[in-house]
């Protein structure tokens, strides 16, 4: 669909699923704006969506197939996969091969991969990174509803009088929904917000109540709530009788395990009055939505946490009606689509079950396939364990980077290293995972392929192509179908467009479905190419052709269990001291930062997005840091029984004492030793198999190198002799933070060896300015090329180094440096006073912390609106508003 604003498509990042208009300009650049007609965002975008144009250049792209590290033809690469898979299946059986796929595949890609593995190879060894993401929600939904159904829609957030955000840093991870909630709060004074998170996050900015509960104790809190609602006469008995089963067992289990608000407070490490306030608010508010995300799912008791939440909604009958319900926010753009096609190892397609013989027979009949998998395959963590043990001989990884994102990530490296045959489909040439691929397949990226994705409110939206695929990149569905054909399944994989695949998927959803399965989009079946192309964003189910879709589910009290009733699940909260390890006394919590996406393959390309957090860090409470001799911005080691990382210490009281928070994003492409999943234990939830990414026992210690430094360079550099480095994109430069254990004998020679480009032409005018204070252990050097700053290195014995801001601005200049600028280089600031902007807070308008502090202190701008008017900060995507408020609050408090 092309309009005046460009092609309408969907954001490739989070599960909010915002609509985007992408317009290719005359010069080839792309302009991105929010699609005002898309119901998810109505024109809004967050910082990541707004910066998409900065991430689609071809630098670092995988453009051609490769085998054994050499470029090869598509035929060679595809034959190699088909032949190796076929041979291993012949010799060892179908369970000796596996696919590891991703919630970032489009539904059509995902459908084809699942069909090939389950219906033609005949194994269910296809699992997905959604196992690390949504598996506990899926398992909790199925236990309670008999189906993996999200009953709510975004509008419920606007209709609610209470929104509970459990284990969700909505402000950073679902920013447009956060904006919708913040907006609703302004227009509805009754709306109260409760945040349940061990950390005080940016989301707490709009919270009326923040419960900083002990890590992992959510099931105790919601069990306490269930008992409280029961005891205080808040049961909706008519609803319970008509539409649910198992209430007494769940209530008894709650009353025994957590008898009352005081017991909940004790088990969760909370203040009893706060818990009481939460229970009272929940009890009194009919229109309550409970949102949950990874603080709930990524836990060894994740499924129980989900059911403890759902139990409270069932007991009060608050489900399926406007403004209420349990609402899982999905992470990836197509986490939901993956569930619909059955991309998890324990599912069949179109919400049918592997364990049910009639379902298997039905899918096989529909696919007319030679076989059908008859038992669940291996879940992600088990799959990589089996790879390491040599039970799986060949794996094909698509659209995910498991060497970074799986728990016990070093074991994943070893497993891939020892595996007989590894194929990787990715858009990027060098990732921590492509390093292990025998065959690399260049996938078409966002903007280059067509298909559909489903967002958190079950809304199916089109991703539309607006750029040609570069080099020999091909869409994932095409690559998979090519391999399937070469394995002999030509007839079943003879697709020529994603529309054909979508039609087949839609037909399967309605096949012999007399209302027994929630996922039914047969009303979208039979779309021709033109109708597929113009498909408007639609919420499933869509049973009748021409239907506008379904906003909410379960309004009729009918569920997908054998009796048609929702099930209460008795929950026994785990031991709050879990796990105990004296040698590793702290709890490692991991998650996301505002402007980065996962393993940095995309957001790491944008200078704007990299400026908010440019270095891997660990946040901890000053009370924990002090006895360890750790000061603000020191380097530290965080170590578990499995591994160790080196990071920058950020001390703040937003963490609970005893907790350390480390972002999940950094990896071997961006830092020396910051792949945090190398530390995370592969402990999984017993029901869902989802890993516990938020709770690993660790210890923390100061890391004291001999020197610290930073380096700015127009070229990407290979660093030797440094024990710590982290790199980030800047405008026209790479920024490196450095530290080393050995001092070079001659700093100046070291700097020249590192920074001199091998291919400066004879006509280039190179100049060096440097300065060494041997006694103080300081070195500063700058290299100019044709009178522009080419690179500079600053070294000191401690982490206190000059601000990088002004130097970074010089790289963006298109002209020669002035004499004054040259003379100021080694001071790292203009000798004539120009104010230093400081670290970026507003990425959209590049407004720095110091500029904001000056505006607040000196110019008396004490509201977000006033700052917005003067500096524009916070007026575009709004992602930085929580930080602006925190700066105002902090500065005003200091002045008072």
Percent helix, strand and coil across the chain, each to the nearest 5: 35, 20, 45
| Residue 338 near Mo ion by CB under 5 A | no
Cβ pair 668, 639 in contact under 8 A: no
Q: How far is the CB of 158 from Mo ion (least distance, A)?
A: 25
Q: How far is the CB of 335 from ligand SF4 (least distance, A)?
A: 12
Q: Which is nearer to ligand MGD, 427 or 499 (CB)?
A: 427
DSSP secondary structure of 843-857? TTTTEEHHHHHHHHH
| Residues 153-212, interacting with ligand SF4 (CB under 6 A) | 174-176
Cβ pair 723, 655 in contact under 8 A: no
Angle of helix 272-284 relative to helix 261-268, nearest 10 degrees?
120
Q: Which residue has the tokens 């020191």?
A: 634
Cβ pair 333, 88 in contact under 8 A: no
Which stretch, 392-400, 549-557, 705-713, 740-748, contacts ligand MGD (CB under 6 A)? 392-400
| Residue 16 near ligand SF4 by CB under 6 A | yes
Cβ pair 100, 397 in contact under 8 A: yes
| Residue 331 near Mo ion by CB under 5 A | yes
Cα 74 versus chain centre, distance: 31
Query: Which residue sits closest to ligand SF4, CB atoms considered?
Result: 49
| Residue 591 near ligand SF4 by CB under 6 A | no
Which stretch, 27-35, 125-133, 562-570, 844-852, contacts Mo ion (CB under 5 A)? 125-133
Q: Alpha-carbon distance 720 to 702, whole Å? A: 23
Q: Alpha-carbon distance 730 to 753, whole Å? A: 23
- The encoded tokens of residue 812 equal 């963006």
**Residue 506 binds which entry of Mo ion, ligand SF4, ligand MGD, none, CB below 5-8 Å type-dependent:** none
Going by DSSP bridges, is the β-strand pair 2-3/766-773 parallel, antiparallel, or unpaired?
A: unpaired
Answer for which of 18, 335, 395, 855 binds ligand SF4 (CB under 6 A) is 18
Binding mask 125-154 for ligand MGD (x = CB under 6 A): ----x--xx---------------------
Answer for which of 46, 211, 247, 268 binds ligand SF4 (CB under 6 A) is 46
| Residue 677 near ligand MGD by CB under 6 A | yes
Quote the radius of gyration of the chain (alpha carbons, Å). 27
Q: Which is nearer to ligand SF4, 206 or 440 (CB)?
A: 206
Q: How far is the CB of 798 from ligand MGD (least distance, A)?
A: 30
Which stretch, 252-260, 290-298, 632-640, 717-725, contacts ligand MGD (CB under 6 A)? 290-298
Residue 865: Cβ-neighbour burial (10 angstroms; 0-12, 13-18, 19+): exposed
| Residue 105 near Mo ion by CB under 5 A | no
| Residue 446 near ligand SF4 by CB under 6 A | no
Answer for which of 51, 166, 310, 473 binds ligand MGD (CB under 6 A) is 166
Going by DSSP bridges, is the β-strand pair 30-34/244-245 parallel, antiparallel, or unpaired?
A: unpaired
What order of strands is seen across the sheet that includes strand 97-101? 70-71, 66-67, 439-442, 421-426, 394-398, 97-101, 126-128
**Residue 454 binds which entry of ligand SF4, Mo ion, ligand MGD, none, CB below 5-8 Å type-dependent:** none
| Residue 790 near ligand MGD by CB under 6 A | no
Answer for which of 133, 213, 404, 825 binds Mo ion (CB under 5 A) is 133
**Residue 594 binds which entry of ligand MGD, Mo ion, ligand SF4, none, CB below 5-8 Å type-dependent:** ligand MGD
Question: Total residues contacting ligand SF4 (rule CB under 6 A)?
Answer: 14
DSSP secondary structure of 160-201? -SEEEEES--HHHHSHHHHHHHHHHHHH-TT-EEEEE-SS--
Q: Alpha-carbon distance 756 to 269, whole Å? A: 56
| Residue 45 near ligand SF4 by CB under 6 A | yes
Residue 243: Cβ-neighbour burial (10 angstroms; 0-12, 13-18, 19+): buried
| Residue 709 near ligand SF4 by CB under 6 A | no
Query: What one-character DSSP code corresponds to residue 117?
Result: I
Q: Which is nearer to Mo ion, 691 or 874 (CB)?
A: 691
Answer for which of 427, 630, 841, 873 binds ligand MGD (CB under 6 A) is 427
- CA nearest neighbour of 13 among 57, 63, 55: 55
Cβ pair 802, 845 in contact under 8 A: no
| Residue 754 near ligand MGD by CB under 6 A | no
Q: Alpha-carbon distance 263 to 642, whole Å? A: 35
Which residues are CB-neighbours of 253 under 8 A, at least 6 positions away? 223, 570, 571, 572
| Residue 302 near ligand SF4 by CB under 6 A | no
Q: Which is nearer to Mo ion, 294 or 425 (CB)?
A: 294
- CA nearest neighbour of 119 among 370, 472, 380: 370
Q: Which is nearer to Mo ion, 217 or 456 (CB)?
A: 456
- The encoded tokens of residue 806 equal 């002004």
Q: Which is nearer to ligand SF4, 48 or 681 (CB)?
A: 48
Answer for which of 6, 7, 9, 14 binds ligand SF4 (CB under 6 A) is 14
| Residue 100 near ligand SF4 by CB under 6 A | no
| Residue 882 near ligand SF4 by CB under 6 A | no
For binding to ligand SF4 (CB under 6 A), which residues are involved? 11, 13-14, 16-18, 41, 45-46, 48-49, 174-176
For binding to Mo ion (CB under 5 A), which residues are involved? 133, 331
For binding to ligand MGD (CB under 6 A), which residues are involved? 14, 102, 104, 129, 132-133, 166-169, 172-173, 196-199, 201, 215-216, 218, 293-295, 298-299, 331-332, 398-402, 404-405, 425-428, 431, 443, 445, 476, 589-592, 594, 596-599, 601, 664, 676-677, 680, 693-694
């Amino acid at each position: 669909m092309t309009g005046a604003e460009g092609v309408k498509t969907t954001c490739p990042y989070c599960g909010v699923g915002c609509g985007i208009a992408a317009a290719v300009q005359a010069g080839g650049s792309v302009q991105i704006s929010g699609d005002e007609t898309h119901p998810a965002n109505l024109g809004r975008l967050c910082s990541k969506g707004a910066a998409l144009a900065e991430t689609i250049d071809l630098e670092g792209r995988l453009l051609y197939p490769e085998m054994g590290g050499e470029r090869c033809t598509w035929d060679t690469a595809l034959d190699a996969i088909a032949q190796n898979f076929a041979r291993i299946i012949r010799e060892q059986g179908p369970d000796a091969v596996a696919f590891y796929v991703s919630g970032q595949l489009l539904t059509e890609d995902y459908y084809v991969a699942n069909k090939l593995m389950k219906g033609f190879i005949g194994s269910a060894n296809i699992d997905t990174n959604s196992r690390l993401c949504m598996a506990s929600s899926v398992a909790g939904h199925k236990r309670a509803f008999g189906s993996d159904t999200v009953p709510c829609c975004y509008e419920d957030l606007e209709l609610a009088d209470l929104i509970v955000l459990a284990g969700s840093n909505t402000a950073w991870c679902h920013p447009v929904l956060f904006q919708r909630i913040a907006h609703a709060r302004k227009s509805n004074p009754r709306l109260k917000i409760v945040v349940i998170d061990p950390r005080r996050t940016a989301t707490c900015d709009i919270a009326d109540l923040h419960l900083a509960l002990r890590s992992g104790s959510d099931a105790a809190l919601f069990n306490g709530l269930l008992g409280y609602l029961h005891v205080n006469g808040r049961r909706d008995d008519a609803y319970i009788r008509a539409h649910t089963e198992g209430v007494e067992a769940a209530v008894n289990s709650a009353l025994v395990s957590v008898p009352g608000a005081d017991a909940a407070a004790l088990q969760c490490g909370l203040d009893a009055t706060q818990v009481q306030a939460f229970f009272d608010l929940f009890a009194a508010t009919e229109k309550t939505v409970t949102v949950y995300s990874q603080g709930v799912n990524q836990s060894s008791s994740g499924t129980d946490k989900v059911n403890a939440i759902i139990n409270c909604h069932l007991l009060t009958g608050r489900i399926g009606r406007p403004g209420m319900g349990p609402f899982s926010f999905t992470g990836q753009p197509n986490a939901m689509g993956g569930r619909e096609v059955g991309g998890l190892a324990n599912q069949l397609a179109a919400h049918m079950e592997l364990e049910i013989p009639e379902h298997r027979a039905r899918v096989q009949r529909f696919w007319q396939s030679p076989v059908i998998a008859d038992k669940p395959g291996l879940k992600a963590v088990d799959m990589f364990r089996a790879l390491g043990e040599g039970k799986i001989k060949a794996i094909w990884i698509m659209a995910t980077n498991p060497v970074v994102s799986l728990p016990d990530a070093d074991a994943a490296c070893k497993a891939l290293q020892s595996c007989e045959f590894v194929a990787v489909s990715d858009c990027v040439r060098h990732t921590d995972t492509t390093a292990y691929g025998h065959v690399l397949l260049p996938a078409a990226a966002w903007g280059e392929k067509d298909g559909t994705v489903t967002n958190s409110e079950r809304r199916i939206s089109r991703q539309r192509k607006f750029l040609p695929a570069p080099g020999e990149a091909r869409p994932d569905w095409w690559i998979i179908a090519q391999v399937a054909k070469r394995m002999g399944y030509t007839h079943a994989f003879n697709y020529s467009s994603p529309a054909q695949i979508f039609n087949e998927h839609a037909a399967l959803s309605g096949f012999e479905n007399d209302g027994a399965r929630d996922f039914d989009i047969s009303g979208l079946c039979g779309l021709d190419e033109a109708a597929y192309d113009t498909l408007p964003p639609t919420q499933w189910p869509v049973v009748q052709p021409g239907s506008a879709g379904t906003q909410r589910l379960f309004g009729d009290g009918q569920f997908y269990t054998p009796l048609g009733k929702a099930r209460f699940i008795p929950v026994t909260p785990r031991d709050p001291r879990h796990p105990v390890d004296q040698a590793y006394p702290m709890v490692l919590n991991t998650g996301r930062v505002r402007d980065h996406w996962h393993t940095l393959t995309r957001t790491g390309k944008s200078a704007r997005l990299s400026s908010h957090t440019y270095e891997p860090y660990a946040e901890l409470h000053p009370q924990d840091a002090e006895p360890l001799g750790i000061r603000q911005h020191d380097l530290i080691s965080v170590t578990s029984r499995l591994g160790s990382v080196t990071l920058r210490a950020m001390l703040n009281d937003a963490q609970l004492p005893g907790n350390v928070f480390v972002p999940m994003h950094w990896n071997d492409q961006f830092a020396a030793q910051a792949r945090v999943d190398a530390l995370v234990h592969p402990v999984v939830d017993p029901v869902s198999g989802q890993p516990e990414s938020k709770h690993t026992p660790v210890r923390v210690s100061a890391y004291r190198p001999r020197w610290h430094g930073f380096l700015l360079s127009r070229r990407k550099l290979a660093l030797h002799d440094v024990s710590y480095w982290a790199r980030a994109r800047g405008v026209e430069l790479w920024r490196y933070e450095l530290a080393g254990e050995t001092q070079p004998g001659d700093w100046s020679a070291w700097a020249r060896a590192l920074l001199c480009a091998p291919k400066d032409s004879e006509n280039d005018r190179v100049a060096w300015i440097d300065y060494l204070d041997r006694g103080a252990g300081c070195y500063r050097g700058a290299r100019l090329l044709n009178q522009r700053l080419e690179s500079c290195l600053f070294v000191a014995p401690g982490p206190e180094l000059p601000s990088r801001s002004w130097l970074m601005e010089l790289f963006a200049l298109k002209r020669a440096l002035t004499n004054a600028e040259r003379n100021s280089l080694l001071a790292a600031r203009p000798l004539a006073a120009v104010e230093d902007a400081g670290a970026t807070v507003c990425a959209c308008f590049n407004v720095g912390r110091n500029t904001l502090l000056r505006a607040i202190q000196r110019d008396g701008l004490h509201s977000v609106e006033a700052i917005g008017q003067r500096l524009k900060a916070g007026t575009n995507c709004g992602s930085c508003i929580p930080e602006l408020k925190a700066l105002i609050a902090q500065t005003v408090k200091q002045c008072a």
